[in-house]
Chain A
């Protein structure tokens, strides 16, 4: 059985002005894994996410997703290919309801075109029905049903995180990039989110690549961890292997210990 790499990054390089943010990054994410990406502040992790998901175009290198070269693709094309990214601050749409937040995630909704919306529901009824049914299902799955008509800004921070993940799930991704999902969460909520991520991985056949600083989360949830420093990958392996890697320990010296 060959290792099914869902995402392969080779020789990725990205500079801003004179600053090298990513310097020859190599990364592999296996299908149906929960892979962690860690590293000290400024290592380039979020920049890597932004480049992989299409927000930045890399200067050099190659990004292959599900057998497809997505290196220079637009964000929209990458989302269509099955790769979706979330944000550190749980950026749900604050003035919109939970239900609406989920509906927006539905890809390829013909009703979103101005012509169709002007013409009326008849022109997009099936897409709308599908989107609503999928949103209903996620409302149940994420236990947000009783808050479906509440504005996202009124949710607790843990619920917003879940909503953002749900919204990402609506895009029917194969790979979800989670940017620091535990940032700003109290410990009990963190446990809930961890449980959801694991369930989503197994029950919905999902793959996750997670940036995290919270080491307990990373060590417990991730099958494999890649460590970045100064724009490069300096180590990769299981939690134990990482903890004992001298390069990793050096990188973290003076900041936080893994």
Chain B
């Protein structure tokens, strides 16, 4: 019983982290219409930065040269900031590009980053990676409850990201983003500085992904470059497509579904002797699901919902009463 409970907890934690990733990607794609296929790059930057900021100074035998031993909150904030900076640098040349070109460039940049992670041993520990990353409050919480505690941490972060992106959706900033997504030239014709809005959306989504990365680093306590391959980007995209893009609830639902599916099928194989091919069968199923979803229900499970005039008015009235 305890074993199953522990299993569910760990699946929920992974699902929660993917949900945060998906919410970040939703800001890119669902709100701003940015086809970002390099999302894993922000996740990786967040993870490695938080790890390097919090880990102890390395001994001579270790490949990496930096370790600052800072408290974990500093690491997490640092991870978010680093992801934002990377987004800014990536965004300058790429956000002017047509959407499908952005897809190709973003993968290219994410791959270049991954090669950097693998080769720059002095920074990242190379292929061997970084290990022994601290877990927050590891001494204070009894071992039996630690995973539950961490799940709680992830859920708090998830709720925070959800509430923030929901707030942005209803805000004037969110309106301008959607207008740029719908028709950039028309938005320009109304006097909007479209590049600035896209860049800001890009950075916000990246910071959220960086947060997911930091949480991941302190959960797994070890990082290697192979963990940051394109399948993370792909899984996040599938979560968004299936769950419903343009809708933060959809991002969460999609992540929950995909991860549950993945973990549930991990233990199925022994029944039918399909063990060896289960991973690929699973992926085939997911691929077919994507194709079918785009064809027959492109809006996903929880479609984007328009905000009514009444809702805008209520918001204005209720919040200004508190002035």
A binds B: yes
- Are B175 and A125 within 8 A (Cβ)? no
- Are A100 and B175 within 8 A (Cβ)? yes
Alpha-carbon distance A112/B183, docked complex (angstroms) = 17
Alpha-carbon distance A128/B312, docked complex (angstroms) = 9
- Are A84 and B174 within 8 A (Cβ)? no
B26 vs chain A, min Cβ distance (A): 15
Nearest chain-B residue to A81 (Cβ)?
B191
Q: A75 to chain B: which residues have CB within 8 Å?
A: 188-189, 191
- Are A76 and B320 within 8 A (Cβ)? no
- Are B316 and A128 within 8 A (Cβ)? yes
- Are A117 and B173 within 8 A (Cβ)? yes
Q: B174 to chain A: which residues have CB within 8 Å?
A: 117
B41 vs chain A, min Cβ distance (A): 22
Alpha-carbon distance A111/B315, docked complex (angstroms) = 13
Nearest chain-B residue to A171 (Cβ)?
B190
- B304 contact from A53, A80, A95, A109, Cβ within 8 A: A95
B305 vs chain A, min Cβ distance (A): 11
- B172 contact from A53, A87, A91, A112, Cβ within 8 A: A112
- B182 contact from A79, A96, A117, A167, Cβ within 8 A: A96
Residue B6 CB within 8 A of the other chain: no
Q: Contacts A97-B306, A111-B173 given: A91-B186 contact, CB under 8 Å?
A: yes
- Are A76 and B193 within 8 A (Cβ)? yes
Q: A125 to chain B: which residues have CB within 8 Å?
A: 316, 319-320, 323
Q: Contacts A117-B173, A129-B316, A148-B309 given: A87-B189 contact, CB under 8 Å?
A: yes
- Are B167 and A120 within 8 A (Cβ)? yes
Residue A105 CB within 8 A of the other chain: yes
Q: A167 to chain B: which residues have CB within 8 Å?
A: 190
Residue A5 CB within 8 A of the other chain: no
Describe B's contact surface by its main secondary structure: helix
Q: B246 to chain A: which residues have CB within 8 Å?
A: 95
B293-321 to A contact mask, C-beta < 8 Å, 1/0: 00000000000101111101101100110
A200 vs chain B, min Cβ distance (A): 18
**How many residues on A have C-beta within 8 angstroms of the other chain's C-beta atoms?**
46
- A76 contact from B167, B183, B191, B322, Cβ within 8 A: B191
B319 vs chain A, min Cβ distance (A): 4
- Are B200 and A114 within 8 A (Cβ)? yes
A66 vs chain B, min Cβ distance (A): 16
Alpha-carbon distance A111/B177, docked complex (angstroms) = 13
- 20 intermolecular pairs with C-beta atoms under 8 Å apart: A75-B189, A78-B191, A79-B190, A80-B191, A84-B189, A85-B189, A87-B189, A93-B178, A93-B187, A94-B182, A94-B183, A95-B182, A96-B179, A103-B175, A111-B172, A111-B173, A117-B167, A120-B319, A125-B319, A171-B191
Chain B positions within 8 Å of A, measured between CB atoms, are 164, 167-168, 171-176, 178-179, 181-183, 185-193, 200, 204, 246, 304, 306-310, 312-313, 315-316, 319-320, 322-323
- 18 extra interchain contacts, Cβ-Cβ under 8 A, other than A120-B319, A122-B319, A127-B172? A55-B188, A55-B189, A93-B186, A96-B182, A103-B175, A104-B176, A111-B172, A112-B173, A116-B172, A117-B172, A118-B168, A121-B316, A122-B322, A125-B316, A125-B319, A148-B309, A151-B306, A171-B191
